[in-house]
Structure 1
Amino acid sequence: MSSVTKALDLLSHFSAARAEIGLSQLCRIAKRDKATTYRHLQALEVAGFVEQNPTSKQYRLGPAVLQLAQTREATVPRKASTERPLFDLTETTGETAHVTVLSGTKMFGLAVCDSPRHGTRAIIDIDVFPLHATASGLCALAFGPKGLMDVALADLTSFTTETATTPSALSNTVDAIRQTGFGRAMRSYETEIEGVSAPLFDQTGQFAGAVSVASVATRFTPALEHTIKEHLMIASRDITHNWGGTIPSHIEGLWAKSLTTPHALDSTS
């Protein structure tokens, strides 16, 4: 990994829940020594990618990140085109819906729509989605670039007792997803959340991201699973169309087959 890559990778540790990070904390999170981390932060600060809070002395994202984000959305308007499909998905399922995008080897959160139907609902509060533990990450492993599996295997962090933490367990989970066309995380990232996702494609014809529904596990019945899958297909088609792509015929075939066997992924629990 080059010095530039290592410096830019520090930006991925900032999130809405962790908007400011001190030097020592960032060293622990990134698993790097203090001298190297400080040098990278100085370079990022000069470029405007991070800035220091003058009061706390902690680091936060800088104005250059906002400028790049605005330019990205203006030139590749993906977020805006997800709003209506996500709203419809939330309305029809009654659960939280969200979209993630694949950038390099990471799945980043792009948009979220919370359902007002339930007082208790899934809260999406992460920016980078673990490939081996989330529905969207597993969807990427099943339908994205082959090199993603090596990335996932390099960090099989255990989040719950259901997380795939061995190569064979992860391989079996991904193989099952390839049989249905739907990513599925059965309490593997959070013990109280069940997730289902469908792949998204762009104008290149390649996997570009995933649209997902996160449900409180106690509400996740076979009937709700079937409803979620039905409307995930619609949302995936709509978003993929908005991104200039089309759903591959073999994915459409997997969906059709999966909906005639609603419990196809039960064996992955």
Structure 2
Amino acid sequence: MSSTTKALSLLTHFSASQPEIGLSQLCRMAGRDKATTYRHLQALETAGFVEQNPATKHYRLGPALMQLAQLREATVPRKDGAKPVLSALADATGETAHVTVLSGQTLYGLCACEAPHNSIRAVIDINTFPLHATASGLCAVAFGPQDLFDVAVASLSGFTAATPTTQTDLAALVSSIRDTGFGRANQTYEAEIQSLSAPVFDHSGHLAGAVAVASVATRFTPDLEQLIKSELVTAARNITRNWGGTIPPGIEAAWARSLTHSNALERTS
């Protein structure tokens, strides 16, 4: 990993729940020594990517990122095509809906919408999504570039007791996702959260990211699962259309099989 990459990777530790981070804490989070971290922060500060709060001396994201974010959205519009769909998805399911975008080998959070129906709900407060442990990440591995599987295998960190930590376990999950068309994280990233996702595509014809719904595990019932899957299909189609893409026929067929199978189980139960 180059020095530039290491410096820029420090930005991924900032989030809505942790907008300011002190030097010592950032060292612990990044797993680096203080001298190296400070040198990287100085370079980021010079470029305007971070700044120091004069009162606390903690670091926060800098103004240069706002300009880059606005330019990115103006030239590669993503949020505008996702936000209204997310709002409808959250309202229909009563759960937290969010969208991720794939760039290279990294899956980034784009935007999220929390439904007001429940006082206790999933909160999306991460910037990059682990490929092997989140519904969106697993969806990317299943339907994205082939090398993403190797990338995921290279970093099989255990977040909960249910996280897949072997290549065999990950391969089984990915195979199931390809069969159903839906990514699933059954308490694999957070012990209290179940998530489902569906892939979205853009004008290039390649996977552009995923749309997902995260639910508190205690209220994740078969009926809610069926509702979320049905609404995810609609959301994935709408976002894909807004981004200039089309859903591949194979995924449409997988969704149809999955939803039909679920309906058949409900009628016989």
Q: TM-score, normalised by structure 1?
A: 0.94
Partner amino acid, structure 1, of 2:111: A
SS at match of 1:128: coil
Aligned positions of 1:48-197 closer than 5 A: 48-197=48-197
Shift of 1:222: 1.4
Partner amino acid, structure 1, of 2:215: S
Aligned counterpart, 1:256: 256
Partner amino acid, structure 2, of 1:235: A
For residues 150 and 58 of structure 2, the distance between their equivalents in structure 1, rounded to whole angstroms, comes to: 34
Which has the larger displacement, 201-210 or 33-42?
33-42
Partner amino acid, structure 2, of 1:209: G
Partner amino acid, structure 2, of 1:236: A
Shift of 1:79: 0.4
Partner amino acid, structure 1, of 2:194: E
**Partner deviation per Cα, 1:144-199 (whole Å, 9 max, x = no partner):** 11222222222222221111112211111111111111000011111221100000
Partner amino acid, structure 2, of 1:25: Q
Partner amino acid, structure 2, of 1:210: A
Shift of 1:37: 1.8
Which runs of 4 or more aligned residues in structure 1 lie more than 4 Å from their structure 2 counterparts after TM superposition? none
For residues 14 and 27 of structure 1, the distance between their equivalents in structure 2, rounded to whole angstroms, comes to: 13
Partner amino acid, structure 2, of 1:214: A
Aligned counterpart, 1:215: 215
For residues 90 and 135 of structure 2, the distance between their equivalents in structure 1, rounded to whole angstroms, comes to: 17
Partner amino acid, structure 2, of 1:215: S
Shift of 1:262: 2.7
Aligned counterpart, 1:266: none
Percent identical among aligned pairs is 65
Partner amino acid, structure 1, of 2:184: R
Shift of 1:102: 1.1
**Partner deviation per Cα, 1:46-65 (whole Å, 9 max, x = no partner):** 11011111222221111101
SS at match of 1:101: strand
Partner amino acid, structure 2, of 1:18: Q
Aligned counterpart, 1:225: 225
Partner amino acid, structure 2, of 1:221: T
For residues 34 and 120 of structure 1, the distance between their equivalents in structure 2, rounded to whole angstroms, comes to: 38
Shift of 1:42: 1.1
Q: TM-score, normalised by structure 2?
A: 0.94
For residues 46 and 216 of structure 1, the distance between their equivalents in structure 2, rounded to whole angstroms, comes to: 42
SS at match of 1:108: strand
1:205 aligns with 2:205: yes
For residues 117 and 36 of structure 2, the distance between their equivalents in structure 1, rounded to whole angstroms, comes to: 48
Aligned counterpart, 1:267: none
Partner amino acid, structure 2, of 1:55: A
Listed as ranges, the gaps of 5+ residues in structure 2 are: 264-269
For residues 94 and 193 of structure 2, the distance between their equivalents in structure 1, rounded to whole angstroms, comes to: 14
For residues 155 and 17 of structure 1, the distance between their equivalents in structure 2, rounded to whole angstroms, comes to: 24
Q: How many pairs are equivalent?
A: 263
**Partner deviation per Cα, 1:175-227 (whole Å, 9 max, x = no partner):** 11111110000111112211000001011111111000111212211121111
**Partner deviation per Cα, 1:4-34 (whole Å, 9 max, x = no partner):** 2221111111111121122222222112222
Partner amino acid, structure 1, of 2:88: D
For residues 204 and 257 of structure 2, the distance between their equivalents in structure 1, rounded to whole angstroms, comes to: 26
